[in-house]
Amino acid sequence: MTEQTANEFDIFAIHILLKCTSLDEVIVGYFFGKKNASLEYTFYNFPASVQKRLPVINDNPHLNFKEELTNCSNQLIPDYPEIVERSAKLMEYLNIQFRKIGGLERFSKRLSYLSQLDEKDEISMELLGLFDNWVEKKELQFSSEFFSSEDYSKKVLESAEVFPEKDNFTNYFELTKMPEFYPLIDPIQGISIDTFEVGMPLKITILSYPNEEIEKQIKDHYQDHIDLKEDYLKTIEADIVSKELLTGKNDTYVLVKVRLLDEICAYSIILKSLKLNRNLTIKHNLLPPIKEEEDNIPTGEERVFPGKIKRETKVMTTLKEKARFKFADLILMLIILGGSIALIALVIDLLSKK
């Protein structure tokens, strides 16, 4: 477990190593997600003979474990091609299991709740239960790591191996006079920096200050956001004032500047592929706007839509013809009935005169 205590975390990771003794295989993978929200997970199914070459799950930071697991599988697959098929079947099995227990988010909430209580035995039972229908005899090892949103964001940015050359920056000297920030990262439901436009708010934490004077000005302005124990500025929102695309040696970055005060801006060099915390003001409307129609009130007459001609079906034509014939028959019967009444009246009148 990391320095972040279990009952304070925003993000968590659980590393798993499952020995399938009856199948002679080893399952290694992880769950990673936000507290009480959706999870992402990856598992590989390896032959038991390669266990010593697999990454260690204990005291191994999640970002490092994730990278080691990917590299290890890429190295082993050429010699053990069955890993691909076994792992695919395992992931398909897990998908089915999650649907059976009510969905991945429900399982995430269960893990979050047990992690808050530090119920390791209960967590072990939940994890073992997932694989009950996969293998009968098994041994489980797992470890947990917890992060606050700010800590995880910082760790991700610190793990970036290659940053762009300073010569590629526009007015690099000006950046040294500005505070540096890092954006709040949401590894599950986050969005790319490309989605954020100039003028939109971005959730950030200040990483460093160029001098004490600027630090004091910023902290005075954001007094309500100061952590009294540690004396640092907690997460705030600041509007984006500029974005500049930078091309590094291995990845693409974006130089982002935000405004903190009228005359003070901060900067950050953000990896384009990072998932940033989604601000509630950002809405994605995938449907076109609904066009208003002029006559929304029924008139009792048949409505004719532009470009569309209403055609009568054979059934409707037949019904109309029948209705027309029935009406004609009714009129004829009334005429005959009227004539009969007149004739009877005439006969009665003649008889009475005799």
Greater confidence, 25 or 188? Answer: 25
Q: Is the pTM of this model over 0.75?
A: no
Instruction: Tell me the mean pLDDT in the region 216-231.
Output: 86
Distance CA 82, CA 19 (A): 17
- φ/ψ of 126, rounded to 5, equals -65, -45
Greater confidence, 115 or 354? Answer: 115
Least confident range of 11-15, 118-122, 147-151, 217-221: 147-151
Instruction: Tell me the mean pLDDT in the region 7-19.
Output: 89
* pLDDT of residue 14 exceeding 70: yes
Q: Report the interhelical angle of 120-130 vs 104-116 (nearest 10°).
A: 160
Confidence of residue 242 (pLDDT cuts 50, 70, 90): very high
Q: Is the dihedral of CA 85, 87, 91, 97 positive or negative?
A: positive
Confidence of residue 345 (pLDDT cuts 50, 70, 90): low
- φ/ψ of 289, rounded to 5, equals -65, 145
CB proximity list for 290: less than 8 A, separation 6 or greater: none
Strand partners, 29: 16, 43
* pLDDT of residue 152 exceeding 50: yes
Greater confidence, 163 or 242? Answer: 242
Predicted confidence at residue 317, as pLDDT, reads 56
- Which residue carries 């489980």 as its tokens? 140
* pLDDT of residue 311 exceeding 70: no
Strand partners, 27: 18, 45
- Contact predicate 269/168, CB 8 Å: no
Instruction: Tell me the mean pLDDT in the region 205-211.
Output: 88
- Contact predicate 42/187, CB 8 Å: no
Least confident range of 93-97, 264-268, 312-316, 344-348: 312-316
Q: How high does pLDDT run on average in the chain? A: 79
Predicted confidence at residue 8, as pLDDT, reads 76
